[in-house]
Structure 1
């Protein structure tokens, strides 16, 4: 059996959510646990109530909407993504998966379809990790991979604790942040955030796994001094040492795997004066690869350069591991469910591994999982310039809906 979601309603819902926290008439600034996030959550709660879902909010603010199946003993199929955004993000990253999951449930109601398994829609808290780190924090707590206590004590750059902000916006639920049911499977729709589907003119992505991720933070401690009077051989310049490591992170991928990537995303220089030798520099690095061993090797290469750069420049250093996730291989049966739908709907699909982390990383710890990717034009993401056509959004959402239908098992079809 195949279903078709309501395109007009789906697009209208996407546009509606994009009004909350909108910037420049195109992108989003909807950081987690801000007032804009609260408004988006309230909107999402209203949508779930309108379709008759049983709503619960757990102690990490994860929002679940449940549609009971015919067999109470059958495992639940979970669908969703996140509503929070980057400070300068796009309207598709995260919300597309939320709206597609919601539209799937609406279609079940429209068609009078009863499923064997229960269906749940979820909005995960703080997937982005742009305000509170690590990313994917709340799905990590739910899966038992991150402690609730550590998550609660996490602070943003302004010194606000996660738990205080969660309570402030009114979304600290009393349900334990752990699976409340037996989960059969998890499906997540997301934009690719990369160029491969767009370059190959594909309709949809069949995601087979997620790359390993390693985040680190490095601080170099040098000696502040006058830039005009201090001879070069007297200097201990923390920024020069940093520059050597930044260059190594940029060049590293070409020496390791084909899919290895490396980025220095944050750099803070003290005292930050034009005529003072930099005394202290803090920076972050992010390396990823589908192979855990290659990702580990990349980190070791960065550490070796840290030691060498510090010795060359005569500075001290500190290193802190910020986040680490292992690569994920999705379940064959969930991948096959997506693959079969892509074929049946006549879409041109490509199988690929996600270079970005998603809540599916942690959901896959609890149950079988897979993902569907929508095309990202020019591979842009985490920017207001992020763009996926409504046609591509619709194809990906139809793929998710039908793959979810296959996993839930259709028991009856009739009039509501």
Structure 2
């Protein structure tokens, strides 16, 4: 295999020599040379896993590459490497066995930076063919690396790639390398990575996207043609933003947040109250009125509006009162007291709890609590009992947070029966507490 290795070195050296003489070509070239180490080599055949040593580094081995930038940050690189592998468990027959390793690879590299700084990291992917002794197999490769530039043309290279053989008898392994790297290319006066013969602005630092010209706001419109070089804007707006999308650049738009016609300096013609009189001529832009009254409502219109508003408010108030009245009536039916006493039962307390919640939602309302009895017993006794019960309900509501000033109470004894007292059912209904809204 040694003659083949010499031929391989000659081929790659010729390619490198071509690079060194290609300095007038716009796309830059690179050449690197260094050492390499084979790590964790595996060949799936009779020797099995672990046949070779984990690390293999031949002092006479090398890695030689030549690359060319083909588009923006993408480089194609041709690589040749030479090394050797040693048996991990040598036998008497293979005591000094050392197998030559030769690889030819083609790799695409993507640079994460523009290559103008010191660190120039990249990812690489590609394929090649690797021989171990006389047996070769194709591989698919992928890895990462970085260039460390010292100056504009010279630097160091460190790289790690994994090579996976397509065939079972092929070699699967890691290849780590380190060396020196040179890059060549045409003249680049502004050091923006674009050579002068392809740079539309050779003396001003720019980017690939703008053909080498500066574009401070990165909107794709070069600064010399950008009416707003420090504000991102589309090309059809000459690089100026147009936040309201009305076709008038913000720089010239007197109403940049609201759409308007170009002839009106980008401002709309407002008629807030929709009365047919534009705001600029409307003395009452928030209230509709005829043009004959400068856009302000007439006295008749104001009176009519006030009448409508009062009517609407009255309707709202009546609806609220009806709702509260119905709720009070429903809950009051459950207010009960202990027999012939003015002390509330647990059911009565629960009913008043619900009534207090209703009252607390209406702090401006005033309520009157009335107590009633049936006609059994003396009128005097019934009157006193009804007054005590009405006052007990009032006291309980106050304890639940209802304003005392909004409550009044009175007992009516047997004077205002709800139904006839001639039946037990009627007398039960007459023993009651009622609550009314009084304002």
Task: Assess same fold via TM > 0.5.
Answer: no
TM-score computed with the length of structure 1 as normaliser: 0.19
TM-score computed with the length of structure 2 as normaliser: 0.18
More helix by percentage: 1
